[in-house]
Structure 1
Amino acid sequence: MPVPGGSGREFNYPDVGAGRDDVSPAGYRSLEMVRELGTGDQIFDAASRRLFGWQMHRAAGIRLARSTPPPAPGVDVRLEWGVGPIRASAWCRVVDVVDEPDRRGFAYGTLAGHPESGEETFLVERDTDARVTARITAFSRPARWYTRLAGPLGRLVQRRITQRYLDGIADDQW
């Protein structure tokens, strides 16, 4: 369902919000990548700021408008990537935000026209020993003919971009 003031697009998958359950719905491939960031409040706070400021996306080579608001339920975000004049874009909508003392993050789902269909969740977590990790989980499946055609190469690209997101969360002056 479109959101007032949003992109006007609808979700391109029926399992909206399923990422909260940490189990991929049937018919999707799943992905989980975790990276230890260090220990302490400063690292947790800095990583959280990079996450909510979209810096991890920008560090991965994904362009977002400077006016993109911080993640909040219902916020639509236009992601762009490419080289030089050859650019592609896709829309996502934030479906969930986590703001707990030791866990911060958000999930977004893909909208009509996106090359994939599914959700991606981005979390920064602090355990009882103050160790900080970044965790990205996703469930997805191809939504366009060219992503179906890409097959295993598409999954490789998804893993590479996810690794770059993790690098972007970690890359700060602690």
Structure 2
Amino acid sequence: MKLTDLAHLPLTYEPRGLTLDGPLPEGFHHLEVERRLGAGDAAYARASEALMRWAPQRGIGLRPVATAPRAAEGVEILSHLAVLPIPCRVVWAVEGPDRTGFGYGTLRGHIESGEEGFLIERRGDDVYAVIRAYARAATLLARLGGPVSWQLQKVSALGYLRALQRATDAP
């Protein structure tokens, strides 16, 4: 699978966009993790820029290739987990003074079906990273993985948070 193949692939799930404000839909496995990254304008700016430039994905060892250098609605992204392609499309994006992030949905060829959302939020002066997801198995491999697949998703989400912490702490 190549990045140029993604434009013709359909998203594999409904409803869409719920990782932004929820509620997360029934019939899917749900995940939500968050981490305080720091405080102040500089922390918010560093975390937001890192997020929008795919730092969480790179931080867990994925090598994302996208149709744009920054996340925006409609941007397609292709990563690989070992030999498995991870094709996704950004379905929502926000960039503001208190909330920046995006959510991407799975395309045909992904082993799961669902959405993962990434947000940097200001809560007063504090800066938080929030990862929310809903997914279900889309392939026999994912179904056979069962609980192991869901644990790997949580491990990945915690890795995303660590990557954002490193980016926020960098001078």
1:125 aligns with 2:118: no
- The answer to whether the Cα contact below 8 Å between 2:67 and 2:77 also exists between their aligned partners in 1 is no
1:110 aligns with 2:95: no
Q: C-alpha distance in 2, partners of 1:100/1:138? A: 21
Q: CA RMSD in A?
A: 1.7
Q: Which runs of 5+ in 1 are unaligned?
A: none
TM-score, normalised via structure 1 length: 0.89
Identity %: 37
User: Aligned partner of 2:86: which letter?
Assistant: A
2:27 aligned residue:
27
Q: C-alpha distance in 1, partners of 2:69/2:93? A: 13
The structure whose residues are more often helix, as a share, is: 2
User: Aligned partner of 1:114: which letter?
Assistant: H
- The answer to whether the Cα contact below 8 Å between 1:51 and 1:105 also exists between their aligned partners in 2 is yes
1:56 aligns with 2:51: no
1:143 aligned residue:
138
1:77 aligns with 2:57: no
Shift of 1:56: 1.4
Secondary structure in structure 1 of the residue aligned to 2:65? coil
How many residue pairs end up in the alignment? 166
1:154 aligned residue:
149
C-alpha change, 1:42 and 1:171, in structure 2 (3 Å) is same
User: Aligned partner of 1:65: which letter?
Assistant: V
Q: Which moved further from structure 2: 14-23 or 118-127?
A: 14-23
User: Aligned partner of 1:36: which letter?
Assistant: R
Shift of 1:38: 1.0
- The answer to whether the Cα contact below 8 Å between 1:69 and 1:75 also exists between their aligned partners in 2 is no
Shift of 1:20: 3.2
User: Aligned partner of 1:91: which letter?
Assistant: P
Q: Which moved further from structure 2: 61-70 or 35-44?
A: 61-70
1:134 aligns with 2:133: no
1:163 aligned residue:
158
Deviations 1:11-43 (A, max 9, x none): 111212233342121200110000011111111
Q: C-alpha distance in 1, partners of 2:66/2:118? A: 20
User: Aligned partner of 1:140: which letter?
Assistant: A
Q: Which runs of 5+ in 2 are unaligned?
A: none
Q: C-alpha distance in 1, partners of 2:115/2:65? A: 21
- The answer to whether the Cα contact below 8 Å between 1:6 and 1:75 also exists between their aligned partners in 2 is no
Secondary structure in structure 2 of the residue aligned to 1:11? coil
